[in-house]
Amino acid sequence: MSPRPAPAKTARAPQKGQQTKAVIIDAALNLAAQIGLEGLSIGAIAEVTQMSKSGVFAHFGSREELQISVVREYHARFEQEVFYPALDAPRGLPRLRALFANWMKRTSAEIDSGCIYISGAVEFDDRPGPVRDALADSVNTWLAAMYRAVVQAKAEGHLREDADEKQIAFEIHALILALHYEARFLRSPESLARANAGFDNILARSASADAPGVVAEPADRRLKTVR
């Protein structure tokens, strides 16, 4: 006699557990954007999701694992919004421009909510451990992708032979950090336009004479205000 098939509810149980975990992580991510990773706790997430503390704990086991899961989810969404769409652009300056444009778009959306990469760096810069490691790994992965785009732009002949790839990548990252500080903390209405102008200046200084799209759209025609 053939064995009876397992009840349907047994097959659905793991899927339901994954869905519940995804709901918890989403709620934790939204909360962390407002109060930081350090503000996360099993109790706070239980209250937000209207679950029991034991129910939340069963999915993560510790506050630290909850924080790490949030960092990983943030990084996955960052890649989906910033990195992967830029791969459709040709290698070289077009792709570098696409990466920066996507990064600016996400940064603009985070001006009111906050960036977990930046707030997490402030919270965990001097606190070794798994959460700091997860944050650092995520940021390093993204910065390495930006650096590769700069290196590819040079390999395509879009940047001068004497262009310093590491310096260019450093300055692009610095623009985003300055934008967060100026826009989120100081509420400067010109911060977005200045970040775009700064990027154009980096390319104008480093691009080869026949590089595509070196002359960019004027900064005063771009988004310039922060609400």
Measure Cα distances from 131 to 19, 58, 82 in Å. 24, 19, 23
pLDDT, mean over the chain: 87
The residue with greater pLDDT, 226 or 138, is 138
Burial class of residue 103, CB neighbours in 10 A (0-12, 13-18, 19+): buried
Report how far residue 25's alpha carbon sits from residue 62's, in angstroms, rounded to the nearest whole number. Answer: 13
High-pLDDT (> 70) share of the chain, %: 87
The per-residue DSSP string of 55-79 comes to: HHHHHHSSHHHHHHHHHHHHHHHHI
SS (H, E, C) 91-102: CCHHHHHHHHHH
Map out the domains of the chain with their CATH numbers. 8-221 (1.10.357.10)
Structure token pair of residue 128? 């070794």
Burial class of residue 86, CB neighbours in 10 A (0-12, 13-18, 19+): buried
34 contacts 114 by C-beta, under 8 angstroms: yes
Read off the pLDDT of residues 60-92 as tens digits, 9 standing for 90 and up: 989 999 999 999 999 999 999 999 999 999 999
Report how far residue 35's alpha carbon sits from residue 39's, in angstroms, rounded to the nearest whole number. Answer: 6
The pLDDT of residue 111: 84
Q: Please give the average per-residue pLDDT across 108-132, as a whole number.
A: 90
